[in-house]
Structure 1
Amino acid sequence: MTQQITLQTEVTPDLLGARLDQALAQLFPDYSRSRIKVWIENNQVSVNGTIINKAREKVFGGEYIEIQAEVEDEVRFEPEDIPLNIVYEDDDILVINKPKDLVVHPGAGNPNGTVLNALLYHYPAIAEVPRAGIVHRLDKDTTGLMVVAKTIPAQTHLVNALQKRKITREYEAVASGIMTQGGKVDEPMARHPTKRTAMAVHPMGKAAVTHYRIMERFRNYTRLRLRLETGRTHQIRVHMAHIAHPLLGDQLYGGRPRPPKGASEDFLTVLRNFKRQALHAAMLRLEHPITGELMEWHAPLPDDFVELIEALKTDYLLYKDDLDY
């Protein structure tokens, strides 16, 4: 069994000079470079409306890509009885509160045990929806709200809403360092030039905008509320690191715990035991993809995040008379 797929995108400026197959492998990470190369050689890839059948052809950025191809159904992800924390459900959508240590979609190193596997178990019919209805992702160790489409029409509308920035997502985070005011990070992002699993601010990357405001200040750390205007991979983590305030616990982007002077052993223990980036998707607001009703959900901080905040507060109260802010 095969199914016809259509993939469309624009080549981003950071791929200037890349081979066509290399560029498409980055633009469509769900498909292997070898599969993409076959599509190119089989005249299934057009660039600016012209069929290109040479994988080594160079791209320059800005080209319009369209792929008309068939994919086999041989890759079937297995349903798994993994519990889901369901915040809301109707016939068209599902909103879940994702815990830490749970990958959203199978991939290299995580072939199963994911949100997708859980969705296939709890909702067998969702197998007919591309990517089992997953329209946006959270990193493995980021907790909080995700919306999932249960039908193809719902998925089509949600993907369109995301692209048009009509879905509001707000996060809570703890950043390293003492921040004095809120603001906005408007810096384009692309794949990191040397670290394959990382992203980076890059002048030729895709547009990325993050808004943030201060909720609380502690010793050496600041609690933030953030709102995504765009949804790039690792966006909040990369943007906060870019302005020299990486998220606490984010080892990939430099947020290793830096305890303040004189910290108690209890506080140090909490920091050592918090082994993930301090980031939680706290609010999700969207228009229902079928009814058009404006809907909003909130997810309380998970237990480990609450414990972290309490420890930061306790440490701050012990030393607040010595601080100059």
Structure 2
Amino acid sequence: MPEIIQHQDIVPESCLGKRFDQSLAIMFPDYSRSRIKDWILAGQVKVNGDVLLIPREKMYGGEEIDINAKVEAEIRFEAQNIPLNIVYEDDYILVINKPAGLVVHPGAGNPDGTLLNALLHHYPALNVVPRAGIVHRLDKDTTGLMVVAKTIAAQTNLVDALQLREITREYEAVANGVMTAGGLVDEPIGRHSTKRTQMAVSYIGRPSVTHYRVMEKYRLHTRLRLRLETGRTHQIRVHMSHITHPLVGDPVYGGRPRPPKNSTEALLMKLRSFKRQALHAAMLSLFHPITGEEMTWHAELPEDFVELIELLQEDNKLNAQDEY
């Protein structure tokens, strides 16, 4: 069943000279301007009792607005009983700890079995929220925290917060090579010029900023803590590869494993068998989209990531003893 959205209000005098759709976006901030425009074009908004189909029409202030809109369910996606690791949930949002191997949204090659399908099973009312409430993504093999909106209002506010860089996301990663100090990568990212499924640093790309600091150094690897200012596709993976420190296990941007000399057999096997990027969304912090409360969550490293770090730490100790 579609969700019915109903609102009545008076256009404030401050909207004098503003477009119809712009005025409504100001009056009803829980909904995006594009959604409001769709309602206008569908004849679901009346001005002084009459349907107005022109989003660019200028307002004078004082007009009576009557919204009676339907939000149709996204019936093309199937609800599937896929387990979710839910870290937090209330009436408006839920936070999940995504495992490796779970695709976020259906697409070419992944028509189902995704996080979106799982969300629709867990909370069927998400079928009237665009993209089942998903507001940001993690790559298939990146683990960690994601926030999902359970209502249209919460989704609109979370998307705005992302655009305003008011949501903090921190990651842990293991990169190839020894990095001496932290820093930032401020390089635009766009679609690769010849490999259309890949991204690359490109002067015609979108602005992209990644901050990183060194947590621990190993003989030929570095454990990092990273914070995103922007959220481009594959951003951390592309930026780290760009500065010649690609992530361990990255099948697209990482190249071959780089074990240090005289490594233990266990470390050699782990580096060769680590077939996903060593990247984990470890911390998520935001202001609740409805209550405004500041909230922060942390997710422990997954088992394969912990094993990799322990083997690298052991390698450090063994070789330090040998040198002594």
Shared fold (TM-score, shorter chain, > 0.5): yes
1:79/1:103 CA distance change after superposition, 3 Å: same
Q: Find the counterpart in structure 1 of residue 9 from structure 2.
A: none
Structure 1 length-normalised TM: 0.76
Secondary structure, counterpart of 1:171 in structure 2:
strand
CA distance in 1, matches of 2:160, 2:300: 28
CA distance in 2, matches of 1:174, 1:148: 27
Structure 2 length-normalised TM: 0.76
* Matches for 1:86-125 after TM superposition, within 5 Å: 86-125=86-125
If you compute each CA radius of gyration, which structure gives the higher value, 1 or 2?
Answer: 2
1:201 maps to 2:201? yes
Q: Find the counterpart in structure 1 of residue 229 from structure 2.
A: 229
Cα displacement (A) at 1:262:
1.1
Gaps of 5+ in 1: 4-48, 50-70
Q: Which amino acid aligns with 1:241?
A: S
Q: Which segments of structure 1 move beyond 3 Å, counting only runs of 4 or more?
A: 71-75
Q: Find the counterpart in structure 2 of residue 243 from structure 1.
A: 243
Q: Find the counterpart in structure 2 of residue 318 from structure 1.
A: 318
CA distance in 1, matches of 2:240, 2:313: 22
* Matches for 1:122-201 after TM superposition, within 5 Å: 122-201=122-201
Secondary structure, counterpart of 1:203 in structure 2:
coil
Secondary structure, counterpart of 1:305 in structure 2:
helix
Is contact 1:170–1:225 with CA below 8 Å preserved after alignment?
yes
Q: Aligned Cα RMSD in Å? A: 2.1
Q: Find the counterpart in structure 1 of residue 34 from structure 2.
A: none
Q: Which amino acid aligns with 2:115?
A: V
Is contact 1:129–1:152 with CA below 8 Å preserved after alignment?
yes
1:303/1:74 CA distance change after superposition, 3 Å: closer
Cα displacement (A) at 1:254:
2.4
Aligned length: 258
Is contact 1:247–1:255 with CA below 8 Å preserved after alignment?
no
Secondary structure, counterpart of 1:254 in structure 2:
coil
Q: Find the counterpart in structure 2 of residue 259 from structure 1.
A: 259
CA distance in 2, matches of 1:144, 1:221: 22
CA distance in 2, matches of 1:314, 1:104: 35
CA distance in 2, matches of 1:320, 1:175: 21
Is contact 1:201–1:242 with CA below 8 Å preserved after alignment?
yes
1:73/1:81 CA distance change after superposition, 3 Å: closer
Q: Find the counterpart in structure 2 of residue 53 from structure 1.
A: none
Q: Which amino acid aligns with 1:272?
A: R
Identity among equivalent positions (%) equals 73
